Structures are given as structure tokens and as C-alpha cells.
Amino acid sequence: MTQDTIGFVHRFEPGAEDVPPLLLLHGTGGDENDLLPLGRLVAPRAALLAPRGQVLENGMPRFFRRLAEGVFDEADLRRRTEDLAAFVAAARAHYGLPAPVALGFSNGANIAAALLMLRPDALAGAVLIRPMVPFAGPPATDLTGRPILMLSGAMDPIVPVENARRLAAQLIAAGAQVEHRILPAGHGLSQAEIGLATDWLHARAPQVAA
């Protein structure tokens, strides 16, 4: 059921306590329902927390403003990242959850990357699907040991591979354990990546939950 409490319109589905919950962050034009099937597919036993982005672009929900395609309003991104971190903290208290693993697609992956950089305490790890560098100058942060899976498309017309590689390098420089896979795909999610995300979460769940 969609809830409008604790700061964001969101969906919550309970799960097992011995696996980390997933924070599902949709792409532009999605909503709190968008990634629930994917979340259940890749982590069948996990609790799912799915907020709706609070920014509208031509009527389509997003998590932060952009000035043009690939050009972010960084001041707005910072503010919205803090708002999302506050929501995660409130949701953890409300639902009795440990730190979640973010599963974000496109715009959702970008704010997840920003969350890792600005509020690393908010996440236990992340699966970033089609992310790009969120900040022109990466904030100093400590992500020592934080597991991150990045899935990029070699033929993505929105996110150049060089940009994705730069983000991976920034996260590695901050101490994260990054696995970056570049697949023969465009911006859309491929079936192969669902398998990669499932396997990665299964392998990482004990470490993430520790």
C-alpha cells in the first residue's frame, strides 16, 4: 500500500530480517511502484522500501532537478539527497530496518550515488544501474569496504562509458569495493543484468548485513 508518511510518498513491503532491505529508487517518470517487481525478483526475501521522487519534470517524477540532459542542478541535488537521507533514517526507525542497499535506475542511481558521497551512513551498499557522475567535484567521503555494483551500457546514449568509469574511479578512491560491469546494452535494463544483480546481492548479502 502506498504511504505518504515520514516525508515521502512510498511503498513498503516487509521481508526477512536476515537479509538487508532494498531501497528502490526509480528513474525519471517512474514512481514508488516501478521497481517493486525488480526488487522482488533480485532479492525475493528482502524488505522493499520504495519512495517516489518529489520533483516533477514535465509531469514526470524525479529525485532532483536537472538543468538539461546530463546537467544536474547540484544545489538541488544536495538538498534532495539530504531529504532522502532523512527519509531513510525515519523509515528505518518506523519499520525497524537495518541500513538498506540502494537499487537505483538512471535518475534513482544518480541520487543513490550522491547519497553514498554525501551521507554514506545511510546505505549499506548499492546496485547502480546506468548511473553517472553526480557532482562536478566529488565530495570527500569514506566508503571503506562499502560494496557497490555498477551496471553500465556500452551503447547508452545518455550516459557515456567514460562518465560511468569516472564515477567508478571516484567511488573506488573513497574506499568502496566496486564491481563495474559494462554490458552490450543501451540505457534500458537487460535480462542479463537482472541475473548479475541477483547473483551480486546473493553473494554480498552476508557481508552487507554484517
8-state DSSP, 159: S
Which residue in 26, 106, 152, 180 is the catalytic one? 106
Closest by CA to 106, choosing from 54, 200, 30, 182, is: 30
Provide the grid cell at 198.
541477483
Is position 106 annotated as part of the catalytic site? yes
User: How many angstroms separate the CA atoms of 173 and 141, rounded?
Assistant: 9
User: How many angstroms separate the CA atoms of 43 and 166, rounded?
Assistant: 28
SS3 12: strand
User: How many angstroms separate the CA atoms of 18 and 16, rounded?
Assistant: 6
Pairing state between β 60-62 and 22-25: unpaired
Crossing angle between the packed helical segments 107-118 and 161-173, to the nearest 10 degrees: 20
Provide the grid cell at 13.
513491503
Which residue in 156, 180, 190, 199 is the catalytic one? 156
Is position 190 annotated as part of the catalytic site? no
Is position 94 annotated as part of the catalytic site? no
Which residue in 31, 73, 187, 190 is the catalytic one? 187
Greatest C-alpha distance within the chain: 42
Q: Which residues are catalytic?
A: 106, 156, 187
